[in-house]
């Protein structure tokens, strides 16, 4: 919605894609193959990921650590020898988490592990818990039927390599609170959108529909959701106290931090890769998304170390505040919309550090399809299949892809991603250094070939409207 | 030490073992084989374990939930149809946990997940952290060398089927604080004695040597110990704030809760099995030790359901406060020392709910060895090997075994036990119902055959001094 005027301006200002088919030379493929082997043995990605998760640690958007993360990213780009490093402001409402507790009341008194959803207001509610198996059943609850009660959606998300179980999992998080309010509930609980069975709850942003008065909203860890469900089966009148101290508190201006490896012959054209710099606060944001920062910084750094830079500029963006609504991605799209067609292709890594198993691209012009096929072939030795129609632009490049930028997708195996996502357990030890090196190799190959290709991929405001993934990925 | 006068009294009072070799009849073996098959299909053990972990939940010795657990156990014995149910008082000092926090100070500011060790005093300490690779290196630190600092033992315990890595792991917990005090430390941190990589720290009892002023003592989760070690490698002057609110607070009297299935022909002779009723406070004590309660109650209940009870009485003891020093076990040994020789054999299940893979027995008279071999043979169809010399009496039956009671050991596979032990993650979902049924089957077979054997196993104060496992198992 907010992009519409921008798109109109772009549609008038920019030329259509070139008529000449896009070429990738044998020399470029040979360099990419070398790069792939170098990356598999290189530990830059690991070191960057280790550095961010250790030295900054958790870095909730708008927190004291947000500023430290920005300073860290600038310094890291400089240490790695990027040609240009700068920041661009990203302003957003600031949400704070101060404390969170829950307790079963009465004869089975015991604490429950939960975490406030991002965007939840503060509040202490004691009430009878009413369990719903899924979002639909809560959405059908009659207005007033939950007056003064606590709505609890006990939906268990499914494990999948491509993470598709998160589709419903994140809807339960995003739409559940408003459905609860409509039925009169005083607080909202959900089973975490996660596939693990540890006592670490999964946070994530939620929202409240306009006109509704927000209620305290939180996610129980999976074992705690099991426990609450058992207690409700024993006694449907089971009461719980939910006490959250959290909420919105003014605005904050963070930064997208950007580093470039300057192109050797077409420096004004850009291949954009990146990750997001912010994390949720309980873990150290290793898989979400220090890994994406490490992968993209390392891939670009290895390309920068080549005897000759590729034709185009490699731009790595460490996006601000992805978690609370793609703020960095929207800010980038607004600031750079006029240059959309100069972005040959864009790709973010924001799905952990599992081995990349699939490749796809979108908003691709017909005359660039052979070039995409060549990139796919160059990725194949890494165990990556070309899976047309399976991918999508990840998180912060979504707004730009939605505005028409060609996008690449390097799909991480997400089978274990939602064991850790948005929890205290998202820490460095969960990353396999060999898988991370494979990730860097894949990004290096993709990025180099896209940057060295003779001809574009189809980025154009005419492509506007391609599908995007939701918020809080 | 406290058992010495008791042992002396027993040595005088009790007769030697019978001269006739102990017999197990073919009819008893046939009944045991039926019982084994029945138990494998029965869910009593699961239901008892579910009930205790759900309805009582965490039950720290001396807490409000301790009393609820005692009431629960009495009611459960009665529901299950035990012939006699009673309680026996167990008095111990009460330790309370109120809050616990840790924070890295300075440029890498971030929270660390830790948990106070049982017995730790309260206190807030800010200090430079000094890392030691193991207990030995801290024990060698010069007096005064850690003045005002925080000692940190970064020892990682090893995973093993028989859990032997916990030997050193628990020594780091038990002896580390005193070693730290001797070197002048103001607080003590250790890497959790655990084999997982989750952000849940492993608590457990510690102690302070006489004459030393206790210091705040806590365990970091494994990922947090990793993080602190990395931060110290970056900057050896790294400072941390440790803030614990916990400590001893008077005395409490809990109860050993006892249920019996009365023997059909020698009701005054006893086969004792059990588990401990208390748990640490962060989890719901599923593997430690609701499972032991469920296994022993279910095994005895299934024996009680037989058309004819075995000769001897089956006594199931739900021991009070094992975690803080085998208080229930010592109280039982003191209260029942004079009847030691009437206890044919004793066995506690306090090592989780992994499949039982090994069997052993101790304090066995020579003329009972064939009977033990017959029990071993009856356990073999459950995948259980007879491993002479590999077992030991578990936790609360240790004092009684130390006083000369014959003991049996049914060894659970502990490969994953220390992923969960003494953490918030010790919850019902971690138990495999099939493995638990196998555990019940093993206990039912062992208990029935011991109770039906013609002749004893060798319990006698003359056996006093057999090896025991340490505290806080």
| Closest CA relative to residue B275, chosen from B261, B262, B260, B289 | B289
A190, β-bridge pairs: A153, A219
B465 pLDDT band, cuts 50/70/90, is low
C-alpha B160/C-alpha B415 separation (Å) is 5
B5 pLDDT band, cuts 50/70/90, is very low
B101, β-bridge pairs: B243
pTM of this prediction? Answer: 0.94
Query: How many Å lie between the alpha carbon of B320 and the closest alpha carbon of chain A?
Result: 19
Of B104, B199, B283, the CB nearest to A424: B199
| Closest CA relative to residue B346, chosen from B265, B443, B250 | B443
Q: Which CATH architecture has domain B99-249?
A: 3-Layer(bba) Sandwich (3.50)
pLDDT at B9 over 80: no
C-alpha A5/C-alpha A295 separation (Å) is 34
| Binary contact (A54, B198; C-beta < 8 A) | no
Instruction: Indicate the SS3 state at residue A25.
Output: coil
C-alpha A65/C-alpha A383 separation (Å) is 37
In whole angstroms, how far apart are CA A433 and each of A285, B141, B379?
A: 16, 35, 45
Please check whether residue A311 is in contact with residue A264, taking contact to mean a CB–CB distance below 8 angstroms: yes
Query: How many Å lie between the alpha carbon of A424 and the closest alpha carbon of chain B?
Result: 6
Instruction: Indicate the SS3 state at residue A79.
Output: helix
A positions 333-372 inside 8 Å of B (CB): none
C-alpha A372/C-alpha A456 separation (Å) is 11
| Closest CA relative to residue B226, chosen from A54, A423, A287 | A54
Say how many residues make up chain A.
Answer: 473
Please check whether residue A403 is in contact with residue A7, taking contact to mean a CB–CB distance below 8 angstroms: yes
C-alpha B221/C-alpha B113 separation (Å) is 6
Largest Cα–Cα distance of chain A, in whole Å? 76
Taken in order B397, B402, B406, B409, the sign of the CA dihedral is: positive
| Binary contact (A55, B234; C-beta < 8 A) | yes
Residue B462, pLDDT score: 83
- Chain centroid, CA A46 distance in Å: 19
Tell me: the pLDDT tens digits for B268-311? 999 999 999 999 999 999 999 999 999 999 999 999 999 999 99
A26-83+262-463 shares its CATH topology with A99-249:
no
Residue A4, pLDDT score: 38
Q: Which of A139-153, A300-314, B11-25, B227-241 has the lowest mean pLDDT?
A: B11-25
Q: Is A113 touching B (CB cutoff 8 A)?
A: yes
Instruction: Indicate the SS3 state at residue A342.
Output: helix
Angle subtended at Cα B83 by Cα B77 and Cα B84, rounded to the nearest 5 degrees: 75
Q: Is B57 touching A (CB cutoff 8 A)?
A: yes
Other beta carbons within 10 angstroms of residue B265's beta carbon come to 12
Please check whether residue A244 is in contact with residue A186, taking contact to mean a CB–CB distance below 8 angstroms: no
DSSP code at position A428: G
Residue A133, pLDDT score: 98
C-alpha A368/C-alpha B392 separation (Å) is 71
C-alpha A443/C-alpha A349 separation (Å) is 9
Label the pairing between strands B217-220 and B187-191.
parallel
C-alpha B159/C-alpha B148 separation (Å) is 34
Mean pLDDT, chain B, as a whole number?
A: 94
| Binary contact (B54, A234; C-beta < 8 A) | yes
The domain locations on chain A are: 26-83+262-463, 99-249
Query: How many Å lie between the alpha carbon of B290 and the closest alpha carbon of chain A?
Result: 15
**Measured between beta carbons, which residues in chain A are less than 8 angstroms from residue B108?**
54-57
| Binary contact (A429, B231; C-beta < 8 A) | no
Residue A7, pLDDT score: 39
What does residue A39 show for φ and ψ, rounded to 5 degrees? -65, -35
| Binary contact (A107, B68; C-beta < 8 A) | yes
**Measured between beta carbons, which residues in chain B are less than 8 angstroms from residue A425?**
198-199, 223
Provide the residue-wise pLDDT of chain A in tens; the chain has 473 residues. 333 334 334 434 444 444 689 999 999 999 999 999 999 999 999 999 999 999 999 999 999 999 999 999 999 999 999 999 999 999 999 999 999 999 999 999 999 999 999 999 999 999 999 999 999 999 999 999 999 999 999 999 999 999 999 999 999 999 999 999 999 999 999 999 999 999 999 999 999 999 999 999 999 999 999 999 999 999 999 999 999 999 999 999 999 999 999 999 999 999 999 999 999 999 999 999 999 999 999 999 999 999 999 999 999 999 999 999 999 999 999 999 999 999 999 999 999 999 999 999 999 999 999 999 999 999 999 999 999 999 999 999 999 999 999 999 999 999 999 999 999 999 999 999 999 999 999 999 999 999 999 999 999 998 776 544 332 33
Tell me: the pLDDT tens digits for A144-164? 999 999 999 999 999 999 999
> How many helical (H) and strand (E) elements, i.e. helices and strands, does chain A have?
13, 14
DSSP codes, A359-394: EEEES--GGGHHHHHHHHHHHGGGT-EE-TTS----
Please check whether residue A57 is in contact with residue B227, taking contact to mean a CB–CB distance below 8 angstroms: yes
Q: What is the CA radius of gyration of chain B?
A: 23
| Binary contact (B197, A56; C-beta < 8 A) | no
C-alpha A424/C-alpha B113 separation (Å) is 9
Q: Is A51 touching B (CB cutoff 8 A)?
A: no
Per CATH, domain B26-83+262-463 is 1.20.1260.10? no
Q: Which residue do the tokens 């032990």 mark? A: B421
Q: Which residue do the tokens 């731009």 mark? A: A315
Residue A335, pLDDT score: 97
pLDDT at B107 over 60: yes
C-alpha A99/C-alpha A243 separation (Å) is 8
Task: Give the side-chain half-sphere CA count within 13 A for A57.
Answer: 24
Tokens of B187: 């607080």
Q: Is A223 touching B (CB cutoff 8 A)?
A: yes
**Measured between beta carbons, which residues in chain B are less than 8 angstroms from residue A109?**
57, 64-65
Tokens of A390: 């399976």
Residue A463, pLDDT score: 77
pLDDT at B7 over 80: no
Tell me: the pLDDT tens digits for B321-378? 999 999 999 999 999 999 999 999 999 999 999 999 999 999 999 999 999 999 999 9
C-alpha A254/C-alpha A55 separation (Å) is 18
Q: Is B230 touching A (CB cutoff 8 A)?
A: yes
Please check whether residue B274 is in contact with residue B397, taking contact to mean a CB–CB distance below 8 angstroms: yes
C-alpha B389/C-alpha A302 separation (Å) is 58
Three-class secondary structure assignment of chain B? CCCHHHHHHHHHHCCCCCCCCCECCHHHHHHHHHHHHHHHHCCHHHHHHHHHHHHHCCCCCCCHHHHHHHHHHHHHHHHCCCCEEEEEEEEEEEEEEEEEEEEECHHHCEEECEEECECCCCEEEEEEEEEECCHHHHHCCCCCCCCCCEEEECCCCCCCCCCCHHHHHHHHHHHHHHHHHHCCCCEEEEECCCCCCCCCCCCCECCCCCCCCCCCEEEECHHHHHHHHHHHHHCCCCEEEEEEEEEEEEEEEEEEEEEEECCCCEEEEEEEEEEECCCCCCCCCHHHHHHHHHHHHHHHHHHHCCCCCCCEEEEEEEECCCCCCCHHHHHHHHHHHHHHHHEEEEEECCCCCCCEEEEEEECCCHHHHHHHHHHHHHHHHHCCEECCCCCCCCHHHHHHHHCCCCEEEEEECCCCHHHHCCCCCCCHHHCCHHHHHHHHHHHHHHHHHHHHCECCCCCCHHHCCCCCCCCCC
C-alpha A231/C-alpha A221 separation (Å) is 15
Other beta carbons within 10 angstroms of residue A237's beta carbon come to 8
Q: Which residue do the tokens 């003045």 mark? A: B147
Q: Is A198 touching B (CB cutoff 8 A)?
A: yes
Task: Give the side-chain half-sphere CA count within 13 A for A323.
Answer: 27
Of A58, A113, A430, the CB nearest to B110: A58
| Closest CA relative to residue A119, chosen from A66, A175, A81 | A175
Task: Give the side-chain half-sphere CA count within 13 A for B299.
Answer: 36
Mean pLDDT throughout B212-221?
A: 98
Whether residue A21 has a cis bond before it, omega within 30° of 0: no
Of A68, A104, A200, the CB nearest to B198: A200
Please check whether residue A327 is in contact with residue A92, taking contact to mean a CB–CB distance below 8 angstroms: yes
End-to-end alpha carbon distance in chain A: 20
End-to-end alpha carbon distance in chain B: 19
C-alpha A213/C-alpha A246 separation (Å) is 15
Q: Is A109 touching B (CB cutoff 8 A)?
A: yes
What ipTM describes this predicted complex? 0.93
Of A57, A199, A234, the CB nearest to B110: A57
Q: Is B198 touching A (CB cutoff 8 A)?
A: yes
Residue B20, pLDDT score: 85
| Closest CA relative to residue B69, chosen from B271, B270, B281 | B281
C-alpha A378/C-alpha A33 separation (Å) is 7
Mutate which: A198, A202, A232, A416, vs B, most B CBs within 10 A = A198
Query: How many Å lie between the alpha carbon of A56 and the closest alpha carbon of chain B?
Result: 6
| Binary contact (B427, A231; C-beta < 8 A) | no
| Binary contact (A197, B222; C-beta < 8 A) | no
Of B197, B222, B231, the CB nearest to A54: B231
Of A108, A198, A226, the CB nearest to B200: A198
C-alpha A128/C-alpha A346 separation (Å) is 49
């Amino acid at each position: 919605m907010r992009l519409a005027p921008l798109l109109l301006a772009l549609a008038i200002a920019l030329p259509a894609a070139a008529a000449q088919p896009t070429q990738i030379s044998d020399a470029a493929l040979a360099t990419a193959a070398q790069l792939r082997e170098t990356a598999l043995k290189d530990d830059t990605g690991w070191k960057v990921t280790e550095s961010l998760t250790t030295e900054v640690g958790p870095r909730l958007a708008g927190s004291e650590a947000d500023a430290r993360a920005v300073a860290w990213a600038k310094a890291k780009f400089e240490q790695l020898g990027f040609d240009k490093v700068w920041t661009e402001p990203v302003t957003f409402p600031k949400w704070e988490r101060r404390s969170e507790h829950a307790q079963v009341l009465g004869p089975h008194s015991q604490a429950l592990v939960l975490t406030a959803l991002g965007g939840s207001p503060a509040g202490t509610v004691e009430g009878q818990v009413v369990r719903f198996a899924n979002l639909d059943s809560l959405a059908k609850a009659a207005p007033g039927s939950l007056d003064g009660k606590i709505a609890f959606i006990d939906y268990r998300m499914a494990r999948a390599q491509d993470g598709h179980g998160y589709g419903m999992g994140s809807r339960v998080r995003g739409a559940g609170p408003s459905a609860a309010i409509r039925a009169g509930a005083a607080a909202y609980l959900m089973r975490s959108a996660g596939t693990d069975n540890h006592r670490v709850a999964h946070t994530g942003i939620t929202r409240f529909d306009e006109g509704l008065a927000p209620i305290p909203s939180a996610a129980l860890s999976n074992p705690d959701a099991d426990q609450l469900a058992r207690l409700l089966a024993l006694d449907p009148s089971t009461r719980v106290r939910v006490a959250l101290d959290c909420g919105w508190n003014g605005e904050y201006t963070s930064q997208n931090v950007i580093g470039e490896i300057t192109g050797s012959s077409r420096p004004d054209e850009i291949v954009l890769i990146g990750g997001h710099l912010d994390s949720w606060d309980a873990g150290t944001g290793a898989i979400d998304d220090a890994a994406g920062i490490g992968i993209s910084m390392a891939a670009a750094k290895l390309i920068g170390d080549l005897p000759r830079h590729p034709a185009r500029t490699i731009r790595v963006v460490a996006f601000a505040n992805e978690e609370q609504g793609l703020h960095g991605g929207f800010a980038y799209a607004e600031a750079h919309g006029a240059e959309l067609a100069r972005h040959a292709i864009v790709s973010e890594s924001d799905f952990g550090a599992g081995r990349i198993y699939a490749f796809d691209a979108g908003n691709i012009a017909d005359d660039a399809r052979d070039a995409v096929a060549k990139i796919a072939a160059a990725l194949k030795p890494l165990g990556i299949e070309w899976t047309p129609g399976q991918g999508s632009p990840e998180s912060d490049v979504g707004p730009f892809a939605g505005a028409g930028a060609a996008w690449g997708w390097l799909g991480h195996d997400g089978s274990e991603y939602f064991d850790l996502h948005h929890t205290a357990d998202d820490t460095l030890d969960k990353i396999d250094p060999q898988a991370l090196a494979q990730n860097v190799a894949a990004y290096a190959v993709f990025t180099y070939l896209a940057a060295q290709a003779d001809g574009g991929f189809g980025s154009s405001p005419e492509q506007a409207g391609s599908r995007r993934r939701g918020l809080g990925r």
